[in-house]
Structure 1
Amino acid sequence: MEGSEPPPLPQVSPAQLREEGNELFKGGDYSGALSSYTMALSLEATPQEQAVLYRNRAACHLKMEDYSKAEADASKAIATDGGDVKALFRRSQALEKLGRLDQAILDLQRCVSLEPKNKVFQEALRTLGGHIQEKVRYMSSTDAKVDQMFQILLDPKEKGTEKKQKASQNLVVLAREDAGAERIFQSNGVQLLQRLLETGETDLMLAALRTLVGICSEHQSRTVATLSVLGTRRIVAMLGVKNQSVSLATCHLLQVMFDALKEGVKKGFRGKEGAIIVDPSRELKLLISNLLELLTEAGVSAQGRDNALTLLIKVVPRKSLRDPNNSLTLWVIDQGLKKILEVGGSVQEPPEDIAVTENSRMSASVLLNKLFDDLKCDAERENFHRLCESYIKSWFEGRGLAGKLRAIQTVSCLLQGPCEAGNRALELSGVMESVIALCASENEAEQLVAVEALIYAAGKAKRASFITANGVSLLKDLYKRSEKDSIRIRALVGLCKLGSAGGTDFSMKQFAEGSTLKLAKQCRKWLCNDGIDSSTRRWAVEGLAYLTFDADVKEEFVEDEAALKAMFQLSKLEDRSVLFAVASTLVNCTNSYDHEEPDPQMLELAKYAKQHVPEQHPKDKPGFVRSRVKKLLSAGVVSALTCMVKNENPVLTNSCRELLSRVFLALVEEAEDRGSVVAQGGGKALLPLALEGTDIGQTKAAQALAKITITSNPEMTFPGERVYEVVRPLVSLLHLNCSGLQNFEALMALTNLAGISERLRQKILKEKAVPMIEGYMFEDHEMIRRAATECMCNMAMSKEVQDLFLAEGNDRLKLLVLYSGEEDELLRRAASGGLAMLTSLLPQLCIRITQVTTHWLEILQALLLSPNLELQHRGAVVVLNMVEASKEIAVKLMESEVLEILSVLAKGEAGPVTRAATACLAKAVEYELIKPNKERE
């Protein structure tokens, strides 16, 4: 009817939502219960109802290990009713986990006074009292230890003694514990550590820096106090000292300080006055400002400058693009972009104003790229371009040849990082012309700068075709006539890059047939020449990174074992700028880049429209790829990859990590190769790749871990605590955005892990994998469904999962019963195995089996009659458990054909099936449902 109002929505009361939350909590869905309680709190409820809801919500937070919120909610419940023992007990549990034992014991004492006969409260109070006494003893002994250690360290008579060395090591160990760090801090420790830093002795300085790491770690207020005492400028200046060990230790300390300032107190352990700095932006900016100043100071060591760049790469850009605040990046661009460009445009020769290493320019490129990627809009990007162009023009115009070289070097730095900014800089008036002109210079330094810029400029297809038309003859001339190896090899790389512009497309050849093979042969020759320094030889790898798009080049390269080993050796050296080129070459050789099969109809349509259709090289077919992988493995590729991952460096960018993950995945594709990959440290190297990097890179590394975990013993492959680190990457493969194969392999790997120990099952539970595993039990694909069922059966050994099966109102048990009657024999084996185990552990489920489906008896009979002995055994165990659980069920079973089947099975050959069948009949005799067989007796 027109104009009539819609009927009012049904009102939900707080009490209904509370009941709904209670049911969800019993079923193990703590986040769902939390949502229900929160929704109930948003409605109008009485103070008493609100107190109960806050108390229940505190229980959810405890289960989800969010102890700060648990404490807050329990406190709100107590504010309404001071005698609420449940709220008091929950708050005491949260406070204990937060390390505030003195407050926790007060709540427990109140619980005991309210309910003196409650044994749970009494036991908790006894345990907590023991913990407090232990802590008091530790604290009193720690005070004396701290004083004693500082006396030894600051005693001039003890110089260089073993006693002093031991004291410094003890101080570092003590600072790693929260209580120890707090005690050092409160014992005027920062001032005393400052005196150690001023001694100038390397060992004492390292001990002081490492102790400061413990004091500042994840503690914001202590970090601010430390910065105030030591001075931001002084700490950052220590980064630039010539002693590499001290510089690295300072770098670690600054990283910890940045983390503490950005994240705040994670552990809930508070400082001297429990002070927390709400907005640490002033301290952060002061630290970053000093780091930016350090980049261009003349007296700073080259290693220190690299460490400063590394810190800026780690701390300035946002960790996730989902974080809307990129103000720190914008501030760094405005305050320090020109300083970063100054490092990027520098050269290693001694006349240079600032000292740099072979990695400095690459680190500057990585930092520039991360800053550019962190920008959110066109206006921010335009500002970045404007600052870069302004800096390049300031050097290019009016500063003579030296200025032009500096400008071109800066453009090269941008082309290696934010290439969009580099390409725009190349289009500035006169820049490209100067590059071409300087290539013909007689001066080696000028030629080096110009040829490198030409190589980086050829990255864009449009510019590559321009250089192919105008610069190939120049590069050929440089290669043939130059007497300098450094020039010749760079010219060769330029030709390689132009020759590979067609990528993997067999039909797109830039040069005449055979030219790329000649170029590759020359690259391999340079690569194997030990007489040339490594910084020059790395350019040969750059050339191969481009040329190995061609399958003929790949085949020749993997046959040349000497060239492979020379490349692997280069990847292990200190010059890390070769990493990306090595990784790219290996991705090309293993064909581990993404390639989709074209739609046949679209292919025909493209041919009809006379559009270019990419063609696959005949030597890029699977058989050739497998052969190349075998040759790489025998040449020692895994040890090279492991070394590349292990040596953390800014050059090991997320893109580079993704390439390494792709190579590892290709290496473990065949089951027989996985053992050798693990033996050479491949499993250990994959863990950091699976936990950090691009989404694609992490997924590829996780899939490689899954493949390894499926076919090998995880405890041997990932010894000690490392096996627990594998769980998170595997669980990440269960997400819906992963492919079916990745889901399947993750489930198989988790099944293996879940069968090892309760601690591993607890780790899988903590990663919230169980709901996803359950979801895949309903999957249409039979292999995924079977793998999920097997995984769930292993997980059912945990009490938390058993509780899920016991919870009212779910179909988990029904699904296992029905799957035990499916046609897929492997699925039946998994489901019936789960039933056998659950009915053994939880006899109350036996009655529920008869209620979940009317077909339960047919399914059990089918299992007992199966020709497969494993299925027979599982069926017999389930029947035995049901008979032992209830006489009522036993009656139903003995009145059916099950009795006859069991009688036949009991007469069979001795084995587990016969024993289970005999036990069933014996129990039926005990119930007096059947009479004993006299003849058999």
Structure 2
Amino acid sequence: LNSTDARVQQMFSILLDDATKDSDREKAAQNLVVLSRDEGGAEQIFRNDGVKLIQKLLQSKQEEVVLSALRTLVGLCTEHQSRTMAIVNELGMDQLCAVMGSGASTVSLAACHLLQVMFEALTEGMKREIRGKEEAILPEPSKELRSMLRHLLEMMPASNVSGPGRDSAINLLVKQVPRKSFKNPDNSLTLWVIDQGLKKILQVAGSIPELSDGPPLTDNTHMSCSVLLSKLYDDLKSDKERENFHKICEEYIHDVGNRTLEMSGMMDAVISLCASKDVTHQQIAVEALIHAAGKAKRASFITANGVALLKDLYKTSENDRIRVRALVGLCKLGSAGGTDFSMKQFAEGSTGKLAKQCRKWLCNESLPPTSRRWSVEGLAYLTFDADVKEDLVEDKNALMAMFVLAKSEDKTVLFAVGSTLVNCTNSYDVEKPDPQMVELAKYAKQHVPEEHPKDAPSYVEKRLVKLLDAGVVSALACMVKQESPALTEACKECIARVFLALVERQEDRGTVVAQGGGKALIPLATDNTDVGKVKAAQALAKIAITSNPEIAFPGERIYEVVRPLVSLLNLNCTLLQNFEALMALTNLAGISERLRQKIIKEKAVPKIEGYMFEEHDLVRAAATECMCNLVLSTEVQKLYLAIGNDRLKLLVLYSGEDDERLRKAAAGTLAMLTSEQPELCKRIPETTTHWLEIMQALLLCEISDLRHRGVVIVQNMIQADRDLTEKFMESEALEILTVLAKGGEGTSDPVSKIAKNCLDKAVEYGLIRSREGKEGTEP
């Protein structure tokens, strides 16, 4: 037996012995987890009937032993389809779902993680090359995969499943069922789940714990169901599929959502229900009004017919749950004009009073978290008003309370916090209207939106500083870490927008990095909406430009930054985003060969070369600077060695341009290339008839950096070829080099030393003679 086999056998014997102490059993189970993470150990556990032993451990009353058993299974299943199929068949989904549905949250989460690993092992195993049509449909999922999905769907309405267990099942369906990319034509899993389980999902989504003896729910369950339903609907490809979705919904709920609210007399009925003496009826009616107020048409109806009722409920109700919901209803109606200063729904000062009450409830720790969450919802609407933004950032206690709530287990608050912060930082997109169109609209007596004076950049900057002081970065970082369906792509986009606003000022970037902002931005740049990815990538670029990337993104994290930065080298991005990405990549390319290889692997070189032709001076110079660092890599040098392209010609011509930054970058690249690949020196005269003038201009330049680059290029060319040296010695370059060599005598000036080396080489070639210290006379 080798050492791994022996250790596996030893752990088995300890775990199978009924006389083993509890502490020893826990240690042995933990050792099994470590062994399972090694392929040799995992195979040994599996071959020695370890699954039956693990099945026995799952029934243990020791929570730590059950956790270790689940983590061992994770090791066995990770990226191994055949073992996963065998384990699913041997253990049975009933047992795994029962463990996930148990009351212990840590055990439930561990079981959820195991099932996720199993899903990934099974689905990845089915991805194989198919000959023929490009749009070929992937094979149907295996029966094990369908068995897992069926059991998860059966957990939905089951009363013996705990709230956290049900949330885990919904979370798994969100992650595993919809397609990861719409480029994949196969949405058969989604269609199967809709046919087999949509009604079960709707049953949970429509359960009201206060009104029925339904399944146990958590505060996050309704939000998770909403995300799952949305994801399933978005994954549908045709009108026929969407119609089937609606049909199943309408069979379960006769008329659903907005259709119901727009039916004749329905809004009147909802408003009437708000006056009910039954608290639960009131609560549901007020929540329906809040959701209904999302559309302008219905918001105007509620403003006309329901504001007095909501105000009355807010002022007179003795139940805080009703009061806070009535307040949010008023907040939503009060924000119907958005950021338009001229579109005020309520009297002057009313929104300020509503916001003050929201902040008061937010800071009241005696209120249940759900009520405090509603107060954040209210602020998310009211912070369209710049006066409310100013008041909120001045109230440090309210900010701290909001951040604590964002870090809490109540995941449903994430989008409200994100929206509030987007409003406070003005990081939403604002389209500036054409001045001529504005004048035309005024002339036609059409409404023209007005900006609030406190939305001016100076006010926004002060708000950002106050948010940073209050600890906004650590709150955002915690929000990103949440493994919950509530962290939707829209929510991630909000967080990315806020981060971009926070790193706008150069002096704030160190604070953002120190509080974990750099780490949080990487997943936001890879898993987000298209807009969110760009915002997060731009924030990463800004950090990488002004901070040391090795400190901002320590360890392996620095390599994860490359792909988001390369994604900004896109024609759909703005020139500023292109420029910042090029600057950041320049810094990364200068760090190590491994980073340069990563940049090359991400196919950035052709994009960077494209930007070297950009008309905008700064972008063109930044691209050339990036290339200057990339040519340290042999792979890029080979591109310049290849025959039949104008890469070298471009660098020579750019070395003679008026733009100082571009000249420095091009001459630096030439200096590097001619040092590493002497063969290129002989090709320089072939690029342009003006090559000698360009070299002489560099040697004569008043800017020391350019002069240094010029003399290095000339030295490399002289050392590479005698004929080239002769051309230099027959031109004004001899006199220039002589002056440069004399100019630094007795000093450590590098230009002077290199110029002297050039002349010494010419003497060695026998092209010039040295005369009593006079280096520069022709023969």
Same fold (TM over 0.5): yes
Give the AA of the match of 1:332: V
Is 1:315 equivalent to 2:153 in the alignment?
no
User: Per-residue deviation at 1:156?
Assistant: 2.1
Q: Which residue of 1 aligns with 2:293?
A: 458
User: Per-residue deviation at 1:349?
Assistant: 4.4
Rate the CA distance shift 1:264–1:654 in 2: closer, same or farther, 3 A: same
CA distance in 1, matches of 2:727, 2:650: 22
- For the 8 Å contact 1:247–1:304, the answer to whether it is kept is yes
Indicate which of 153, 160, 168 corresponds to 1:299. 160
Rate the CA distance shift 1:858–1:183 in 2: closer, same or farther, 3 A: farther
Q: Which residue of 1 aligns with 2:769?
A: 931
Task: State the secondary structure of the residue aligned to 2:591.
Answer: coil
Which runs of 4 or more aligned residues in structure 1 lie more than 6 Å from their structure 2 counterparts after TM superposition? Answer: 265-268
Indicate which of 406, 420, 424 corresponds to 2:259. 424
CA distance in 2, matches of 1:185, 1:765: 41
Indicate which of 683, 696, 711 corresponds to 2:531. 696
Indicate which of 707, 713, 728 corresponds to 1:872. 707
Q: Which residue of 2 aligns with 1:122?
A: none
Give the AA of the match of 1:333: I
Q: Which residue of 2 aligns with 1:161?
A: 23
Q: Which residue of 2 aligns with 1:44?
A: none
- For the 8 Å contact 1:146–1:171, the answer to whether it is kept is yes
Indicate which of 821, 824, 827 corresponds to 2:659. 824
Give the AA of the match of 1:933: R
Q: Which residue of 1 aligns with 2:759?
A: 921
Deviations 1:33-69 (A, max 9, x none): xxxxxxxxxxxxxxxxxxxxxxxxxxxxxxxxxxxxx
Q: Which residue of 1 aligns with 2:6?
A: 144
Q: Which residue of 2 aligns with 1:639?
A: 474
Query: Normalized against structure 2, the TM-score is what?
Result: 0.95
Within a 5 Å distance, the mapping from 1:246-395 to structure 2 comes to 246-264=107-125, 279-349=140-210, 352-393=213-254
Rate the CA distance shift 1:550–1:265 in 2: closer, same or farther, 3 A: same
User: Per-residue deviation at 1:199?
Assistant: 3.0
Within a 5 Å distance, the mapping from 1:547-586 to structure 2 comes to 547-586=382-421
User: Per-residue deviation at 1:287?
Assistant: 1.0
CA distance in 2, matches of 1:783, 1:768: 22
Within a 5 Å distance, the mapping from 1:736-815 to structure 2 comes to 736-815=571-650
CA distance in 2, matches of 1:625, 1:716: 29
CA distance in 1, matches of 2:210, 2:16: 42
Indicate which of 24, 33, 36 corresponds to 1:175. 36
Q: Which residue of 1 aligns with 2:132?
A: none
Worse-matched range after superposition: 732-741 or 491-500: 732-741
Deviations 1:505-546 (A, max 9, x none): 112111122221121122122222223222211111111110
Question: 5+ residue gaps in structure 2?
Answer: 130-137
Q: Which residue of 2 aligns with 1:590?
A: 425
Rate the CA distance shift 1:900–1:263 in 2: closer, same or farther, 3 A: same
CA RMSD of aligned residues (A): 2.0
Worse-matched range after superposition: 729-738 or 320-329: 320-329
CA distance in 2, matches of 1:767, 1:494: 49
Question: 5+ residue gaps in structure 1?
Answer: 1-138, 269-276, 394-410, 412-420
Rate the CA distance shift 1:799–1:923 in 2: closer, same or farther, 3 A: same
Indicate which of 536, 541, 558 corresponds to 1:706. 541
CA distance in 2, matches of 1:870, 1:265: 58
Give the AA of the match of 1:897: E
Q: How many residues align?
A: 764
Is 1:886 equivalent to 2:747 in the alignment?
no
CA distance in 1, matches of 2:97, 2:263: 37
User: Per-residue deviation at 1:196?
Assistant: 2.3
- For the 8 Å contact 2:210–2:280, the answer to whether it is kept is no
Rate the CA distance shift 1:808–1:141 in 2: closer, same or farther, 3 A: farther
CA distance in 2, matches of 1:736, 1:154: 63
- For the 8 Å contact 2:355–2:378, the answer to whether it is kept is yes
Task: State the secondary structure of the residue aligned to 1:907.
Answer: helix
CA distance in 1, matches of 2:59, 2:350: 63
Within a 5 Å distance, the mapping from 1:333-732 to structure 2 comes to 333-349=194-210, 352-393=213-254, 422-427=257-262, 431-732=266-567
User: Per-residue deviation at 1:140?
Assistant: 4.0
Q: Which residue of 1 aligns with 2:60?
A: 199
Within a 5 Å distance, the mapping from 1:210-249 to structure 2 comes to 210-249=71-110
Rate the CA distance shift 1:189–1:390 in 2: closer, same or farther, 3 A: same
Q: Which residue of 2 aligns with 1:35?
A: none
CA distance in 2, matches of 1:558, 1:930: 75
- For the 8 Å contact 1:154–1:196, the answer to whether it is kept is no
Is 1:860 equivalent to 2:698 in the alignment?
no
Give the AA of the match of 2:569: L
User: Per-residue deviation at 1:428?
Assistant: 5.4
User: Per-residue deviation at 1:194?
Assistant: 2.0
Give the AA of the match of 1:656: C
Rate the CA distance shift 1:288–1:434 in 2: closer, same or farther, 3 A: farther
- For the 8 Å contact 2:126–2:139, the answer to whether it is kept is no
Give the AA of the match of 1:572: K
CA distance in 2, matches of 1:915, 1:209: 69
- For the 8 Å contact 1:218–1:265, the answer to whether it is kept is no
User: Per-residue deviation at 1:455?
Assistant: 0.6
CA distance in 2, matches of 1:161, 1:570: 37
CA distance in 1, matches of 2:164, 2:640: 59
Task: State the secondary structure of the residue aligned to 2:345.
Answer: coil
Q: Which residue of 2 aligns with 1:29?
A: none
Worse-matched range after superposition: 885-894 or 180-189: 180-189
Give the AA of the match of 2:55: Q
User: Per-residue deviation at 1:433?
Assistant: 4.2
Worse-matched range after superposition: 346-355 or 479-488: 346-355
Task: State the secondary structure of the residue aligned to 1:932.
Answer: strand
Give the AA of the match of 2:30: Q
User: Per-residue deviation at 1:890?
Assistant: 1.2
CA distance in 2, matches of 1:265, 1:344: 32
User: Per-residue deviation at 1:430?
Assistant: 6.6
Identity, % of aligned pairs?
67
Rate the CA distance shift 1:544–1:770 in 2: closer, same or farther, 3 A: same
Give the AA of the match of 2:58: L
User: Per-residue deviation at 1:279?
Assistant: 4.4
CA distance in 1, matches of 2:657, 2:36: 60
CA distance in 1, matches of 2:180, 2:773: 78
- For the 8 Å contact 1:348–1:357, the answer to whether it is kept is no
CA distance in 2, matches of 1:704, 1:877: 37
User: Per-residue deviation at 1:821?
Assistant: 0.9
Give the AA of the match of 1:329: T
User: Per-residue deviation at 1:434?
Assistant: 4.0
CA distance in 2, matches of 1:552, 1:532: 26
CA distance in 2, matches of 1:472, 1:696: 36
- For the 8 Å contact 2:89–2:144, the answer to whether it is kept is no
Deviations 1:467-509 (A, max 9, x none): 1111111101101110111111110110010111111111211
